[in-house]
Structure 1
Amino acid sequence: MERPVTFLCLASQFKGVAFLEECHRQGCQVLLLCAEKTRNEAWPTEAITERFFMPKLGVYPDIIHAVSYLAREHKIDRIVGMDDFDVEIAARLREHLRVPGMGDTTARYFRDKLAMRVQARDEGLPVPEFVHLLNYDEVREYMQSVPPPWVLKPRSEAGSVGIKKLHHAEELWHYAEQLGDQQSHYLLERYLPGDVFHVDSVVYDYEVLFNRASRYGVAPFNVWNEGGVFSTRSLSDDDPLAQEMYELNRRLVKAMRLVRGVTHTEFIRSGDGKLYFLEMAARVGGANVDMHVEACSGVNLWREWVRLELACLKKQPYSV
């Protein structure tokens, strides 16, 4: 009798219910390893083979030891990180267990805002001018050549968390002093006012098989820092702006070396009318973006993620 495929799903936050349900529908076993704070959330228990909890998932070597212990009794075929913070944890676990999928180096392109900017810039993609908060001479030169305002960004936070808008060099040095040894975990970037867009994609064998372009009602940075209602609306596929973003998104997928998966990519259109790359995540977009995409296209990104992973594992053709 053929052994069912086993997914290890990592969840620092309560999300990915549709992924778990699709795994179950496809006859897979699901091991759910989640943060203790999610214990009382409405997980679909009928779709979960076994559920495990840890105080925090991103603590090393604890997570390595815990999953290695599970692997004594379970043959793990695929490891999936549901949340932004889980992407790099999943990558490190794949490296340690030698499970197929994205490894540490590629994961940095999707979690480290500095790494993804350097990669995009080096591949000729448009990005706002930035500098690593590392060498003070380079930082001073940057502030002299790039007019304020700037945004100070943590390299590994999710979305707009921890981003500060700065207007003077003195502000930067004030925050730098407060950061102390954490300075190198930040970058400084030119602040661009404008409309912010997102493209949500399904990728297989380096090719974008599905994408949907949308425009945020209010930029996530503004909602996070000033409050307001989060909203987004889709663009028509034949909109020239959508077509331009689709082309940039395809180039980014190749630049970031993504073999397969789902992506959430953000762009900003500044006053000069040009699109600039902001960031790219190798996961389903948060804030119910998945429901928005499904409502306007009929494609459920979580379910497609399961389907493409199974197609790869079973060496079968895949299409959205």
Structure 2
Amino acid sequence: MTRHALVLCSRRRAMPARLFGAPGMERVSVITETGHPHSFPSGVEITEIADIQDPGEVLSAAISIAHRAEISHVVSPVEFSQAAGGYVRSTLGLPGLGYDAALGFSNKYVMKRRLREAGLPVTDFAQALSLDDVPEAADRVGWPCVVKPVFGGGCLDIVVLQSREHFDDFASSAQAGSLKASRHPLIVERYVPMDAEFHCDAVVHDGVVEFVAPSRYFTPLLGQIDNFSGSYFLHEGHPDFAPLLDLHARTVQALGMRSGVTHLEVFKVSDGFLVGEVACRPAGGGIPEALQLQYGIDIWQAFLDTSIGRRPQTTVRRRSGIVVNSDFPTRPGRITRIVSEAELAELPGVIRARMTMGVGDVISEDLTSSTSPGLVFYEASDEQEVLSRLENIRNVYFLDASPV
């Protein structure tokens, strides 16, 4: 049977356009949200729905598509489509990550419960069915706490609350509007000061982790939208390398992944490591491109291959130096002045720079962890040079924006 892939996209994010023409994607149907800004290749059938997070609505659209041509695989490239993708697979008997496993990778409360039950280290947590229930949950896990929807991504709708008084002030403000309106429960986690934050990006096939790359963020991500954010790969002799590989392998096993790609967040605290979150889709920002520069691994192609039942390519071609990816600070408004790619390219170690916005473009107030006017990739010989070359970039970078 010719493969007929069903791709589930959100309004915010779609799969890279180049993958729609990849082998095995001869027939593609897309379900996405009304009002999406994406462009899809000719020949791709588009079905629009109100909410990609609604499993029932997605299933109804999938069944209508299947009446016209049998679906062979479901591809869920975005955070918000993971649960719905699993629901369609389980309901229609399709291969891949089923609904129960997909919930473990997308519902943060279910995820934390399963990780704790498997003996993995996580911070204390509780579920709040609504914003009004947060104080009771926070009293159980301890203040200060981090509050966010159980389904979410991109650092959206995350708030750190220091105390009950802080909660009362927040709950009565306009900032609380989106959490009040959430159709999903919230997870309340004890806030833990961290010494460092890491991520592991990996490819799993047939129950085996075939490739994994641990990296360290410059600084912990929470609250860093208006700062330089990025990460660099750790070498095998780094003292944190082996512990991160172990945590990743145990996480994948605990959540039941057989084939797919993962993006795992890990916190280093005073007495060891804590598993933050894990996603079963490629990372955002410059991480996929950095993986290709450092290791020759196309993580998006591996994601597609594992989604449609094909063995991924995980042969490593490692670059000798440390590849670093950095997103630029951003702020809302119309850009009036910004650094150029040419200015960045002249700096020591820079491999490539790419500005995705320019003078006249408008940066939305709706910022996420992936919002950036550009990014730069550079190479360093060791961790000290990672930081010194980042400082060179800080000194050259500028962005001016006026209110819209």
TM-score (structure 2 length as normaliser):
0.68
Matches of 1:163 and 1:26 in 2, distance apart? 38
The structure with the larger Rg is 2
The reply on whether 1:84 has 2:84 as its aligned counterpart is: no
Residue 27 to residue 158, structure 1, CA distance change in 2 (3 Å): closer
Change (3 A) 1:235 1:29: same
Task: Say which SS state the counterpart of residue 215 (structure 2) adopts.
Answer: strand
- Tell me the secondary structure at the aligned position of residue 275 of structure 2: strand
Residue 214 to residue 138, structure 1, CA distance change in 2 (3 Å) = same
For residues 286-315 of structure 1, the C-alpha deviation after alignment (integer angstroms, 9 at most, x for no partner) is 123211221211101111123334455xxx
1:1-320 superposed matches below 5 A: 3-12=1-10, 13-17=12-16, 20-21=19-20, 24-26=22-24, 28-39=26-37, 41-43=38-40, 45=41, 49-59=44-54, 61-133=56-128, 139=137, 142=140, 146=142, 148-172=143-167, 185-194=185-194, 195-224=196-225, 227-270=226-269, 272-311=270-309, 320=314
State the Cα RMSD in Å: 2.8
Q: Distance in 1 between matches of 2:138 and 2:256?
A: 33
Does 1 or 2 have the higher relative contact order (CA < 8 Å, sep 6+)? 1
Q: Distance in 1 between matches of 2:82 and 2:134?
A: 31
Q: Distance in 2 between matches of 1:311 and 1:164?
A: 39
Query: Quick one: structure 1 residues 112 and 14, their matched pair in 2 at CA, closer, same or farther if it must change by over 3 Å?
Result: closer
Checking the alignment, whether the CA contact within 8 Å between 1:150 and 1:189 is kept in structure 2 is: yes
Alpha-carbon distance between aligned partners in 2 of 1:250 and 1:280, rounded to the nearest angstrom: 12
> What code does the residue aligned with 2:116 have?
R
Query: What's the secondary structure of 1:156's corresponding residue?
Result: coil
Structure 2 letter corresponding to 1:196: E
Q: Which has the higher helix share?
A: 1
Alpha-carbon distance, 1:95 to partner: 2.3
Contact 1:131 1:138 in 2 (8 A): no
3-state SS, counterpart of residue 249 of structure 1: helix
Q: Distance in 1 between matches of 2:70 and 2:30?
A: 14
Q: Is the partner of 1:248 in helix, strand or coil?
A: helix
Amino acid at match of 1:212: A
Deviation per CA, 1:221-276: give whole Å up to 9, x if none: 1224xx22331211113323122111100000000111111111000112x15111
Deviates more, 1:4-13 or 1:70-79: 4-13
Point out where structure 2 has 5 or more consecutive residues left out of the alignment.
315-404
Q: Distance in 2 between matches of 1:133 and 1:176?
A: 14
Aligned partner letter, 2:257: L
Q: Counterparts of 2:192 and 2:138 in 1: how far apart (Å)?
A: 20
Percent sequence identity over matched residues?
23
Give the TM-score taking structure 1 as reference length.
0.84
Pick which of 214-223 and 165-174 moved more. Answer: 165-174
Distance 1:113 1:268, change over 3 A: same
